[in-house]
Chain A
Amino acid sequence: MSGHSTYQPKTAFTRWLDTRLPIMRLGWDTFIDYPTPRNLNYWYTFGAILSLMLVVQIISGVVLAMHYTANAKEAFASVEHIMRDVNYGWLIRYTHANGASMFFVAVYIHMLRSLYYGSYKAPREVLWILGCVIYLLMMATAFMGYVLPWGQMSFHGAVVITNLLGAFPIVGETITTMLWGGFAVDNPTLNRFYSLHYLLPFMIAGVTVLHVWALHVTGQNNPTGVDPKSKHDTLPFTPYATVKDGFAIAVFLILFSVLIFYLPNALGHADNYVPANPLVTPAHIVPEWYFLPFYAILRAVPDKLMGVLAMFGAIACLFVLPWLDTSKVRSMRYRPMAKVYFVVFVIACIVLGFCGAKLPDDQVIPGLTTFKLMESDLNSWVWLSRIGTLYYFAYFLVILPVLGLVERPLPTPETIATPALSHPAAVPAEAVAAPEMKG
């Protein structure tokens, strides 16, 4: 894909610059001339949406940092100072807080899209792993950011999550002491979380550059999973992808704005408007919604260390996914069985999310008592999360490896252009259209 550059410097200055630092050429090759498969659908617009969200979060975050005080005694009041006394401070803070949620909405769709169309398979393994690194950094950043307002959920969430790392033998205690800057979550913890919360987004930006670089080396995958073979299969990034991404971004911004302006606290927790108090533990500590599936996996395992390992293992599965999936066919569009298992996987993730928000021993179906197994009634959220966890791991460790060997995929098209050009818009009326191939 990173073929011959077609950039032609037009002015004396750009010709001069091009021989010294070909930055204009880089921009041209990346955002103007870059060939994109012509059949990309709206699921492929989330990369652009994510880039925008990273910029939104960094800009709003830098402005918030100008007004925020990272001190256990003053942090809560300084956030309220932003809400009340800083010009448009409420707008900046609500943008940043809801921006984190929208960022995760977009990244989850982006990841599921990769899973469905097999975008992690050769030759895009490094591209996929870089994406996983970004996701991991995002989770760390979001967690530390949620601690900064120093409300009740901030504080006790930090206590619960950092204590998990203490489950590791030998190194556990050292890790938690280093994270806390002492022997409990306190002012030093807040200070280092603030420092890291400011650092990590720039690391995300750095890895994003590598991610885009890797993308431009291998070229984009597409809904058919078939590599572009000729110029008929692709269209230049500008204007075709830019305008489609632009439209998708605008729709995404509408949803984002509904949250900011009309439901700014809908995804937050009321307890985080109570200043942190180490002596009072909230009745029900829950992480932000985007961590709930992993929280459910953690609690599904009765042993603390094994639970922590399961939680990290759930993310580790993503890193080795390119070598777990044995199928030669990329896109699940041509994998009738994999498609079904994928849908169940998405449902399992959502179910795990619900389990993470509930008290483990509450009943799933109210009023129904069955029998106890491993100290919990079968009709409980903890058992539902055990089933969900089992499926989550089975999907990666059993289903995908085995399915590639036993499944009989449907025939894949010769080229991207074959189904695309058989679209009713492109062919005369007598040709057969295949509506399910529509991108």
Chain B
Amino acid sequence: MLRKVSVLAAALVLMAGPALASGGAEHPRNIAYSFDGPFGKFDQAQLQRGYKVYREVCSACHSMSLLAFRNLGDKGGPFYDAKYKNSNDNPYVKAIAAEYQINDIDSETGDPIQRPGTSADRFPAPFPNEAAARASNGGALPPDLSVMAKARHGGPAYIASLLAGYRNPPAGLTVPTGQYYNPYMPGDVSSAWTGSHEHIPPGGFIAMPPPLAPGKVTFDDGKPSTIDQQAKDVSAFLMWAAEPKLEERKRMGFAVMIYLLLFTSLLYASYRRVWRNESH
């Protein structure tokens, strides 16, 4: 009896997954990433392309304050090079850091100064404070992107769908000034909709204008620079930024699984042997 109940419970729990992710927005597109699955790994070329999209497009408005330049050269990162175990020595990392100007204090005089970045610095924010960020973006605050890929339902697939998913608003939908219609954006557009109540368009309004355009970023490896490609690459990069230890985690998980399976078999054999003469 209990066994049946537990099977039933397990089945119900499995059904709960998709049911919880409901909402007014369109479901993110199905995108295959190299880091999916138990043996998934980041695709370094994709991370480099994604970094370029972030650098040339996103970083104009979005901060990524939890990441330091040295992280780019960490194992599994976009600019990891086995020659430089210490990512602070990585010449790519040093060159990228030096492109940025970092606010600092002159240690001799105490005056505020700007100096070129070093690998130990964190990515500087594009705006000095929240008020400045809002003032430059029509009152909206561009969120920090450090853990964005984990902070939204659907993760990187949601980000890619949103970035490439801007559409002309359907007739009958009044888009507020300074806002854009996106079917993947969670929200409710019913108050701006004059059409039938049965067919309210999916999605919501977003303050970010469509950020990507064909050819906007030139990929150094010759990949065609379509909106879909840019969106997919930058979402993969953001997944790495949010979960830089993903590869290490899955690699260790495999070893742990093998160990536990052997250990469990051994314990089961011991159990059978210990109990062989005892009825129960």
Binding site for B on A (CB under 8 A): 38-40, 43, 77, 80, 83-84, 90-91, 94, 112, 116, 235, 239-240, 243-244, 246-247, 250-251, 253-254, 257-258, 260-262, 264-265, 270-271, 273-274, 283, 339, 343, 346-347, 350, 354, 357, 420-421, 423, 425-426, 439
Q: From residue 265 to 280 of chain B, which have CB atoms closer than 8 A to chain A? A: 267-268, 270-271, 274-275, 278-280
Instruction: List, in ascending order, chain B residues with CB within 8 A of A274's CB.
Output: 143, 151
Give the nearest-CB partner of B252 in chain A.
A261
Bound-state CA distance A343–B153 (Å) is 34
Instruction: List, in ascending order, chain B residues with CB within 8 A of A40's CB.
Output: 280
Bound-state CA distance A112–B244 (Å) is 40
Instruction: List, in ascending order, chain A residues with CB within 8 A of B2's CB.
Output: 43, 112, 116
**Within 8 Å of chain A (Cβ to Cβ): is B250?**
yes
27 A-B contacts, Cβ less than 8 Å apart?
Answer: A80-B146, A80-B147, A84-B71, A90-B245, A91-B249, A116-B2, A235-B278, A240-B278, A243-B267, A244-B275, A247-B270, A250-B263, A250-B267, A254-B257, A254-B260, A257-B256, A258-B257, A261-B250, A261-B252, A261-B254, A265-B150, A270-B152, A271-B151, A283-B186, A347-B5, A350-B9, A421-B279
**Within 8 Å of chain A (Cβ to Cβ): is B86?**
no
Bound-state CA distance A116–B12 (Å) is 21
Bound-state CA distance A84–B76 (Å) is 13
Q: Are A425 and B20 CB-contacts (below 8 A) given A247-B271, A271-B151, A339-B1?
A: no
A253-B260 in contact (CB<8A): yes
Give the nearest-CB partner of A81 in chain B.
B66
**Within 8 Å of chain A (Cβ to Cβ): is B195?**
no
**Within 8 Å of chain A (Cβ to Cβ): is B38?**
yes
Binding site for A on B (CB under 8 A): 1-2, 4-5, 8-9, 12, 16, 19-20, 38, 66, 71, 143, 146-147, 150-153, 155, 186, 242, 244-245, 248-250, 252-254, 256-257, 260-261, 263-264, 267-268, 270-271, 274-275, 278-280
Bound-state CA distance A80–B68 (Å) is 13
The winner among B152, B248, B274 for most chain A CB atoms within 10 A is B274
Give the shortest distance, in Å, between B6 (CB) and chain A (any CB): 8
Q: Are A243 and B151 CB-contacts (below 8 A) given A264-B249, A354-B16, A439-B280?
A: no
Instruction: List, in ascending order, chain A residues with CB within 8 A of B4's CB.
Output: 343
Give the shortest distance, in Å, between A53 (CB) and chain B (any CB): 16
Bound-state CA distance A165–B268 (Å) is 48
Of B16, B242, B268, which one neighbours A357 at CB under 8 angstroms? B16
B249-A273 in contact (CB<8A): no
Instruction: List, in ascending order, chain A residues with CB within 8 A of B260's CB.
Output: 250, 253-254, 257
Give the shortest distance, in Å, between A260 (CB) and chain B (any CB): 7
Give the shortest distance, in Å, between B125 (CB) and chain A (any CB): 13
Give the shortest distance, in Å, between A41 (CB) and chain B (any CB): 8
A239-B274 in contact (CB<8A): yes
Instruction: List, in ascending order, chain B residues with CB within 8 A of A240's CB.
Output: 274-275, 278
Of A43, A357, A423, which one neighbours B20 at CB under 8 angstroms? A357
Instruction: List, in ascending order, chain A residues with CB within 8 A of B250's CB.
Output: 261-262
Give the nearest-CB partner of A94 in chain B.
B249
Give the nearest-CB partner of B67 in chain A.
A84
Of A84, A244, A251, which one neighbours B66 at CB under 8 angstroms? A84
Give the shortest distance, in Å, between B102 (CB) and chain A (any CB): 18
B264-A254 in contact (CB<8A): yes
Give the nearest-CB partner of B261 in chain A.
A254
A343-B1 in contact (CB<8A): yes
